Structure formats: C-alpha cells, structure tokens
Chains A and B, each alone.
Chain A
Amino acid sequence: MKSVVKQEFQGLNGDEAVALAVKQSDVDVVAAYPITPQTIIVEKLSEYVANGEVETEYVCTESEHSAMAACLAASATGARVFTATASAGLALMHEMLFVTSGCRAPVVMAVANRALSAPLNIHGDHSDAMAERDSGWIQIYAENAQEVYDSTIQAFRIAEHLDVQLPVMVGLDGFIVSHTLENVRVLEDDVVKEFVKTRQFPVVLTHEGKTVPFKLDPDTPMTMGPVALQNYYFEFKRQQEEAMKNALEVIEQIHAEYAQLTGRSYGDGLIEKYKTEDAEIVIICVGSTAGTVKTVVDELRNSGVKAGLLRIRTYRPFPVKELVERLGKVKAVAVMDRSMSFGGNGGAVFHEVRHGLYDAASHPYIVNYIYGLGGRDTSPTQIRKIFEDLQKMLQTKQIGDLVRYVGLRE
C-alpha cells in the first residue's frame, strides 16, 4: 500500500465537515434552504461564497422543493451541484427527489437525519431518509464526522460515475454527528480536487440524430425527462434499477481508491464488519449508534462473548449479497432501526436484512429493535441488554417478540 497523503487534524462537527468537503470538491452550484440540524452546512457554505473562497454559485431558494428543483436544473446544464436538508425539508423535496433521480442528475445532498413531525421534534433519527428510500437516490449513512467528510467527497465521484449517474444522499445523525465537535483528518485542497476530478458525461442520441454529451447545451439541444406514458416509462425505471446495481461496485471501487489515498476505510464501503469473523451474536445497525455498539462489542469480547457488529453504510443500493456473505456463522442477529414503518412488522433496515437472509444457506434467529426515535439517547447498557437477549435466545431457542423497543417506557 502506498504511503498516505498529508492530512491535518481540524476540530469540526459533522455539518462543518460536510461544508469543508463541499468547498474542496469544486462544486459549481449550491441551492439550499436552511433547516435544523443541517443549518451549519449552508451557513458555512454561504460564508465561503461571501468570502470569495470558492467560485460556487449560491442560490437562496424559498423552500426545499425549489432548492431541489434548482439543483436539478443546474445539474442538467452540466454543473456539479450540492444541497443539504433534513426532516420536513427532505419531505418537502419528495416530489423533486424522484424527478432528479429520474433525470439522472448526479446531485449530492447531505441529510442531517432528523425526526418528522408530529409531535414536533428537531432531534436525530432516520425517519426522514428512510421515508425516501424508494426515491431512486443512493443512500450512504456515516458513523461520525470523519466519515461524513470522507463520504461527501466520495459521493461526487459515485454520483457522476458513467455507470451510475444517480443522485447521492449522505446521512449524518442529527445533532449526534451534525453538532458534535470531533477531530477530523482533513486533506489538502489540491488532493481533493484531483480525487473528485471534473464531471464526466455519458453520450446520448438526440432528436437531431447527434450523439452528444448528456447535458443541456444550446449548441446541442436535447429534451430531458419528457412525457413517457405506457409505451416507455417502464423502460426508463428499469434503467434506474440497473444504475443502482452498478452503484454497488462503483461505491466499493471509489471507497477503495480513497482508502488508498488516505489510509481510511469503512469496511468495503458498503458494509463495515466489526469482529464478526467468528461472531455468534451480531447487531446490525446504521449510523452513529455503531460507535456505541463497537464499545460494547469490545467489552463483551474481553469477557469471552463472541459478539460482533455489521454496520450498513450503504443502504441504497442495499448490499444483499455482501450481507449474506458476512453473516456466515452467526446464530442470532438483532437489527436496530432508528425509524418506524408503521404497521410494517419492523423497521426499514430489518425488512432488508430479513429479506436478504431468505436465500442464505443458514438462517440465524433475527429480531428487530426500534430505538432512539426523536433523538432519544441509546446507552451502552441498552446495547448490552440487546446482546444478552440474543444470548438468551440461543439458550432457550425461543425468539419471543419479533419487534422490540429500546428505551421506551412500557
């Protein structure tokens, strides 16, 4: 492995880490509307623009729906585009999320994951992004500020890859990651610029019979996202699914390239496994809670318990094959969900994992734990209890309740 490039520590919270990554990634247009807990991102970016530190065009919009519309339009002209949002803001973008992915616009967006009203709550959970899992966006969830920084830089390469051409959401847990100051290793501007390169374009056949780069240009006019009824809509949706499949490989490739450069990696970029090689009981989770789980896994390992963690870093596309491979000899699994799918017999992550395991050679016990809604803290004691539940399951050979709640007053 090559020696890694020079990096320096900076004290940054998750939001600041996003803003710095965007500043260094040669972004042409930012169109955004501030919302807690994402506000620091757009504040920082507007500061960079006001100070003349970047050449980015900053568009203040009147709503998130307009922000995403502006991002799509800018992206269609060939610009590299970024925006950020959370909670109600993401919900307001809902319609435009589908238009953006359908137009194959490689927009990158940070989502400071936050609960949805009502009751009103500004704190961290995954309800906002999980509600958009079918919007055709790639979803990457970071564990800490460092990973947020790294993932944002990687996101531009993933989104703009010729085999992908899809928008990417980078999730950071509201307040827990977005507002917590951490030591973040930061790359030099030139290194990031060289890594992200300039935007590439696939070629498309236009109505003039020309094969031209896929972007709006007065010299090579084209129509994007027109009406496609019973005769063609289906074909375009199938193309998006193919792009998602391609993304699995591309995310791994770009993650590996970045790891080579910086010395940092998060599993294979899709799933991070922590002490799972010989694990019998495993927690699967998404986002910042993985940090707490790792601490508990270390403790349990010291006392001889074969515990492990699988952190789903890439939720869309969902790495089913990789998950099944990594679960190998595991006997009992607890899937943690920081959002609810009301009436769905478990949360969104649980559904994916359990669905994926149907084709596995062996089937571990698998249960779901809903936790941390509205920013409720999840302690090491609670994680320990989950592992104890799994051990008990192995002893008694009884699953018990399929869906449980962590830290809820019963």
Chain B
Amino acid sequence: MTSKEKTWKEASPAGVCWKSSRTYLTGDWKTYTPVRDVAKCTKCLQCTIFCPDGAIHWNEGKGDIEFDLNFCKGCGICANECPPKAIVMKIE
C-alpha cells in the first residue's frame, strides 16, 4: 500500500467509489492477448457485443474495431464467438 491511499477518516462511507473504474487498469491481469487477422475479419461486431469488459470498440473514424488492452483480461470469449475465427488468443 502506498501513502497515497486514503485513511479511514478520508475515505467516503460505505465504500462509495471516489475514482472511476476507468482509472483502474485491469488489462495487466491477462495471460492471453487477442490477435486479429484483419483479412478474415468481416467487422460483424459480434466481439464488441460479447466482450464482458467492453474492451473492444467500434471506431467510427477508422471504420474499424479496436481492442483496448488496458481493460482486456484475456478471457478469449471474442475468439470463441468470432464467426469467421479471425481472432486467436496468443500467450503474452
């Protein structure tokens, strides 16, 4: 624990979160990383729907999906659900 942690007098009651979960990067928990074969991907967006961490986004500007590896926990659900099998999980 660092000295930046709040004391019991400073913390909000009942564990009310004073930081957003966006600042809590859970991506470093993973063992496997999703790797996409762009040639196979049909951009059906099934992966964005199935990702339990909301770590795959549709980027309107690029007209493509993107993985947010800061939050991907490497569960592999995207690879499992991908209809053309364009995603494979590779060990980090």
Contacts and interface: CB of A to CB of B under 8 A. Distances in A.
Interface of A: 102-104, 165, 202, 204-208, 214, 222-226, 228, 231-232, 234-236, 238-239, 242
Interface residues of B, number: 16
A202 B13 CA distance: 9
B1 interface: yes
Interface of B: 1, 5-8, 11-21
B13 A235 contact: no
Given A204-B18, A223-B15, 6 more contacts: A204-B13, A205-B18, A223-B17, A224-B14, A232-B6, A239-B11
B11 A214 contact: no
A224 B21 contact: no
Contacts of B20: 207-208
A234 B5 CA distance: 12
Contact of B16 (A222, A234, A238): A222
29 contacts: A102-B15, A104-B13, A165-B13, A202-B13, A204-B16, A206-B17, A207-B17, A207-B18, A207-B19, A207-B20, A207-B21, A214-B13, A214-B14, A222-B16, A222-B17, A223-B16, A223-B17, A224-B14, A224-B16, A225-B15, A228-B15, A231-B1, A232-B5, A234-B8, A236-B8, A236-B13, A236-B14, A236-B15, A239-B11
Interface of A is mostly: loop
A208 B20 CA distance: 7
Nearest to B23: A207
Contacts of A234: 8
A224 B16 CA distance: 5
B14 A102 contact: yes
Contacts of B8: 234-236, 238-239, 242
A206 B16 contact: yes
B26 to A, nearest CB: 12
Contacts of A165: 13
Which of A202, A236, A242 has most chain B Cβ within 10 Å?
Answer: A236
Nearest to A238: B8
A225 B15 CA distance: 5
A103 B15 CA distance: 8
B65 to A, nearest CB: 27
B18 A206 contact: yes
Contacts of A232: 5-6, 11, 15
B14 A104 contact: yes
Nearest to B6: A235
Q: Which 8 A-B pairs have the closest CB atoms?
A: A235-B8, A238-B8, A207-B20, A204-B12, A223-B17, A104-B14, A205-B18, A204-B16
